[in-house]
Amino acid sequence: MRLVLLGAPGAGKGTQAVFLKERHGLAHISTGDIFRHNLKNNTPLGLEAKKYMDAGQLVPDELVMKMVDAKLSEFGENDGFMLDGFPRTVPQAEFLESKIKLDGVILFKISDEAIVKRLTSRAVCKECGAVTNIHEHDKCPSCGGELYRRDDDNEDTIRSRLKVFHEQTEALEEFYRARNLLLEVDATGMPEEIFARVLELLSK
């Protein structure tokens, strides 16, 4: 099974990806991880991307596609995976379509207000990286480690990121809806409830 996970920052894609990996053995391909790998290892693609990032510019579609293409080449014909953070634009979606056949595109639907509330309450463990609610825990519930707040988990930054997401994703939704690949999931509620909805959609 080969899927694309679409959803606003804070919609819960990462959590659901963990569930899908455990249930179906799908590899989780995150563009954030791809970027970090290329930058950390000073690959030619990473060095090229760094020039744009250091200048405060967006990394061009063509360069992002090259990075993703290199990652996809690591998988065999029958390997299943989820793409998280790619595609973000229609040209990227067209590129992906030319490379692989998707089984579905899961769109995690949740209101902006719910996301703002969720992310402004988010805390991350310094020890194990677990994510929790700052209002519910003063220590990591998984390992007891110290919690911290991400600098970008403030309302102004979150709303700015949401605006960019909506501008980019509207066209993508239509692109995949026209191909009968779009699966819309209500992303409110507990993670286990959301995952049950995901499995129900995939079973169809």
Rounded-to-integer distance, Cα 117 and Cα 169, Å: 21
- Give the pLDDT score at 143: 94
At residue 54, the pLDDT reads 83
Mean pLDDT for back-to-back runs of 10 residues, the chain (204 residues): 92 90 92 89 92 83 92 92 92 94 95 91 88 88 90 86 86 95 94 94 87
How confident is the model at residue 193, as a pLDDT? 95
Catalytic residues: 13, 88, 122, 150, 161
Q: Which domains does the chain have, with CATH numbers?
A: 2-110+157-203 (3.40.50.300)
